[in-house]
Each structure stands twice: as structure tokens, then as C-alpha cells.
Structure 1
Amino acid sequence: MMAAGTAAQRGLRVCLLEKNQKPGRKIGITGKGRCNLTNHCSVPEFIASVPTNGRFLYGAASRFSPYDTMSFFENLGVPLKTERGNRVFPQSDKAADVVGALERFVKASGAQMINREAKQLLISDGRIQGVSLKDGSQISAQSVVVCCGGKSYPATGSTGDGYLFARQAGHTVTRLRPSLVPLVVQGTDCKEMMGLSLKNISISVKDLKSGKIIYEDFGELLFTHFGLSGPVILSASAHLRDMSPGRYRIAIDLKPALSPEKLDARLVREFRENQNRDFENSLSSLLPRAMIPVAVRRSGIEPHIKCNLITREIRHDFASLLKSFSFSIEAFRPIEEAVVTSGGVSVREVDPKTMQSKLIKGLYFAGEVLDVDAYTGGYNLQIAFSTGRLAGNSVPVRGIIDDCCCD
């Protein structure tokens, strides 16, 4: 929508080919339906938040920055607000308002939208000629912009079509893998705590291969039947670049606001107040109910020992458990469950100044189909807006679509 509207505003005759009945379905579910549409940050800060080929985006982001995106939507009648982490949302908290603004933009630009599905690119003598559709018809075009998204959330129409078109044109598609995705963990503890959401916890992720802490975060986490999910887990997954079973370990600090000394003092008080109760029955003010059996089992403390018999050493060991409640990561969840797809059309074969293919004249790529992906926080949608804007501004004035009517 950004590419089509931008090109049409320049006076080009544009056809937006949309296989869904309505456009923007994936935007409509982002941010739990609120749409974190960008991040209120500078271009260098934006680039630093794109771990995969971030430098490739410098030109696109400089021409259409996060600030430009904010102005763009506010000028379309969508008031915005900035929340924790500089995440930008519509004031209404409705992703539908963002989709509606883009639809108005496309309509006002004069671009024509056709609800049909592309089958393949039409290429001759090293340049684009248009596209053929799955209903057997064709659309002639002197330029085609491929911005079909990745393979995540296929129910929204993001089924990897762009990769097929890219390969057809001779482009390299790098290995596809999930990013911003829930994590499968070893063991059954998470399943036992399924449905439990922890807020205001901190996590650290250690790469056991290098011995280094590669990521730390603070926020919300969710236990599921397969492992871990929630905002801090999705963010962490973007840093696990070469997944293998057992390589990464996530430690949860259940009491990040308490230093080890303050936590010990808290335990002393709790055990004193519950001195005649069993250990397993003394933890209700420290831990959620669903977590207590798992914590007791992990502690190795006899469940029925009276609190007045808990030694200083046992208490310190239990405090250490609360400050580092750890899980070994087995794998990513399937790519279909990821927020974004990591991997895609090799940026070495795309001109960063125009988004045009270096292999086929008149062919452009934008958005998630490219081998670029970012952390959570609105950065991935900003990639889509920046690259779509650049592609729409780069197609020759002779037109994206020479004839918007199906043959």
C-alpha cells in the first residue's frame, strides 16, 4: 500500500494486486490489535535495531525515517502516542485505524486495487513485462514491486509467495527461519505452569557455546504447553541466530526489584511468620500458585519441612533459585507462529538506493520479503514503510503498470 500509493501520487498508472478480500490483514493483528507502527527514534538508532543487514536500509530509512512515518499517519488523521521503549501506537489503540489510513492513502492516490492472486512474473530479455494471475489472465507492466511479506502468520496471506517470485527471477533467497517467535524448552515444567503470565520480571539469555550473556530484558513472560512466550521472549528470540538444542539458556529473575540481600531479608521474614507451616505452604506471598510446585521441586527442599528448620544455607540456595529460574531452549516454534520471517531475498542482489533488482530491470522488492529483520518495537513495520516508500519513489515515471486491465 505504501509503494502503490507513493508511485500513484507521482502520476504513474498503478495497480495494487491483493489476493485477500481486504488489504492490511497482517497489520490488523500487530501489537495485539493495537499496531506498534514504528519506533520514535533516530535513523542510527533504527539501524542499530536491525540485526540482519541493517546497513542495507540506511538509504531507505534516511529518505523515510520513523519521524516521517509518524507525520505520514498523523496527516492521514491517525493521532499517535509513544509508550515504553519509544513504541508508537495510534491513540485509539486500534490497528484498524492504521489499515484504514493506508487504504485512504491508496484510494486518494488513484491507484487501482484488484483482488486477484499473482501466479508468476513475466520476464523477457532481462526485464520485467508484468505478471500472470492464477485465474489465467495477465497484467502487463513495465515495473513490478514485490512486497508480499514473509511466511509468518500465513492466515493473513503471508504465505511466502514473494520468495517464489524472487527465485523465478534468478534471485538468491537466504535460509528462512522464524524471528520474534515463542521458544520450545526442555522438560515439562512450563507445561505444568501453562497459562501463567509473569509481569515485571527480568530475563538474561546465555549462549553456552560462547559462555556469554547475549541478551537481557525486563517485562512480561508467558508459560505455554510447549515452553515460553510473551514480549520478552519474542524479543530474545531475535538474538538466537544459530539455534541448536541446549545451546541457549534463559534465566528468569522473579524478583528483579530486590537485591540478593533484600531478598534474603524477605525470606527471613516470610519463614519467621510461617515458622510452624510446611515449606510448600509458606510461599503464596512470594510466588504465583501455579509456580509453587515447580519451585519447590527445583529447590530440592523437603516440601513438608517446617519453616523454622530451614537453615541459612537452604534459604540462600532458594533465593538463588528465585533470582535465576532457568530453562534450556530446545528450538524455535514453527515459522508460521513467528511475528516476522528472518531470511529472504539477498540484499546483495538489490540496489539499496532504489530497491530495484540488480538482476532484472523493472523488478523491485520491499518489506519482509527482503533478508532484513529487526527487534520488536515497531522496527519491522518501519522497514516495510521505508522500503515501500523508496520503491514507490524509484519506479520510472513511465509507470509501474502500463495497463492495469487484465488481458
Structure 2
Amino acid sequence: MRQTWRWFGPRDGVGIEDMLQAGVEGVVSALHHVPTGAVWTPEEIARRQAEIATRPDGTPSGLAWEVVESLPVSEDIKRQSGEWRAHVAAYRDSLANLAAAGIRTVCYNFMPVLDWTRTDLAWRVGHGGTAMRFDLIDFAAFDIHILQREGAADAFPEGVADQAARRFAAMDDARREGLSRNVVFGLPGAAENFSLSDVRDHLAEYATIPTERLRANLIDFLSQIAPEAERLGIRLCCHPDDPPFPLLGLPRIMSTEADYRAILDAVDLRANGVTLCSGSLGARADNDLPGMMRRLGDRVHFLHLRNVTREEDATPCSFHEAEHLGGGTDMVALIHAVLAEEAARRAAGRDDASIPFRPDHGQDILDDLRRNAQPGYPAIGRLKGLAELRGIMTALSHPLVAS
């Protein structure tokens, strides 16, 4: 298992020196400043590679950009509207440029409008640190009473709308504004400047796109992109929906093992693969993460290892980001399945036997509480998670256990 770390670029509050001291082997990054739908040029790729390869004092870091997360898929591609054909062509060009630069693993997602959704970005947990949280009642209060989406009240399980009405009535203006800001944070690049009107406009554009249409659009996209990725030696890996259930009336197509199986079978190339995110998928009680790794492992190209605590087992449900060995996912069983898949790949002579993973998210603890890093990406919380995951890997690989 290849130990990697997500880095958002020079403005990230967790820097190159932090990664080195965490003992990571490679870096996960992206060109967040390049507009979605535009080509990632060789010059911009080389600039990010140089930033990763260099310490603040100008000496070599020894680190390299190994995984892209993510090369974004435009809303036009997802809807097959507007400039979608030009955006597909640009995507192909970006893949070629990444391959020429030696980068072979590319994570992406096909979530409409929202990249991820939380109602609280700094929820206080028992030990005094903070975690990101999705509160179903808060979200319903936003959807029904702040966004005022038509039909929203009928989209939630019985009793949720009544609880949301009481919750909303108890909120002051600051709490309502904070809730809106947290939900909208999942809109890429829009954390501070997306209005509710903008959100409503985005939702309206998906009003005539049901689940099966969105799935067909993803298959069409992959039918055009995956053969080129295969030729270039690039491994594409689709991230699951976060959270893995419908929100805001939008279709969801990557929330379960069956969803992944449909896409993998429809475009049956090794280049068409999976980002197995144990946190996103773990927000559903019916997702068996170790089993998914065993059954889909041949096409798993990237791993996000994190845990969530489901506050009930219904779907949808409230949940919060747990410590890496807490929550509802059996991380020991999951890593055991990963190591078994890697052994099978080595026996088959595959060149991708070591699967890159990163300690995804993490609770803000100790100095994280003053660092003001990207929400969900603390330094010490992730370092703690990486150490715990590394301990499991070491134990399961030890001759006393492996034999």
C-alpha cells in the first residue's frame, strides 16, 4: 500500500515539510485554479510537480505528484449539454499531458452540482477536537426552509420535516447563514460566493435528468475516455457519492456496490476503475467495505481510508467523521482485503500491485484547531490516522501474522 497525502497547493495550511515529517511516500494533488472544462497544460502540470518536489528552502523534497484528485468532470459533460463535447476533448488532452508527465492515477467524480455535503465543518466531539458532520435534520431545514426547494418536505423520511421545522424555528440568523455556508461549501470553488439563487439554477438544470439518464451519460463519457486512458497507461478511478444517498432532488449513481458494478461492466477496461472511499461509502449501513474490496479489488486503483460514525442505520442518516479506527467500518478487515488484492496482483505480475491510499479527512486536534487548514484536512488528525493505518499494515504484513 502506497502512503500518500492530499495537498491543495501552495496556499494549503499543511505544507511540504508537514508531509515529509508525516513520512508519506507520494502526493495527491490537482490544478484547482484551472477552470473546469479547460485543458491541463504541460506547463501547469510541471509547475505543480516542481512545487511538490521542492522544500520551502529550495532543496529537493524527494516527493512527487503521484495521484490526481481530481481532474474535474464538468456539469456540461454530466448533463450532456452546452460545451460537453469540447470538454470531453479537453479531458482527453489533459490525460495525455498527465501521462507525458509520468502521472498515471486520476481520481474523478460524477456527482451533480455538489462535490460533497456537510452541515457542520467543525462539530465539537467528546475529546474537544472537531469533526465534519452531516445532520439530516439540519440539512432538511436548509432544503425546506432556506433553499425552499419545491417538494423538499416530501423527500425526507417520515417525521424529518416536522423536526426540521422546529429546528429551523430555533435558529437565529447567524446559525441559518452558517448552515447555508456549510452546505454550499461542497460546491467547487464556491464556498464564499455562491448564492441560493445560483444553487436553485443548478438544480433546475438537472430537473429533467433522472438517475438512469445520468448513469448513461457517465457510461458514454467513459466509453470515450477510458480507451484513451488505457492506451496512455492511466488508471481512472471514480469516487463515490458523498454522502451516498440522494440530496436536493439530484440523481445519485455511485453510492453502492451495484452502482459500481454497473459502470465497470458497461466499460470493461482495467483503466475504468474505482476510488474506494471507506468514509463516503461507509455512511450507508448496507455497504460492506471489506466485501466490496474483495469483489471489486481488481479494479480498485485508489483508496481513501477514513471512518464515519452513523448516528442511526437508516438511509439517509446523520453521521460524523470518526477517528480512523473508530466508526462503522472495520478498518482491519478492509486493509486485510487490500493486502490480499495486492498479493494477487504481484503474483499476476501487474505493475500496479501497490495501491495508493491516503488517510482521508481526520478530526482537528491539538494544533489543528489553530491552523485553519482546508476543512477535513488537518495536519495532526491525518497524521494520527496515517500512523494508525500504518500500524495495521505493519501488523498484518508481519511474518507472525501473514503466515
| TM-score, reference length from structure 1 | 0.23
Larger C-alpha radius of gyration, 1 or 2? 1
Whose helix fraction is larger, Structure 1's or Structure 2's?
2
| TM-score, reference length from structure 2 | 0.23
Structure with more relative contact order (C-alpha pairs < 8 Å, separation 6 or more): 1
Whose strand fraction is larger, Structure 1's or Structure 2's?
1
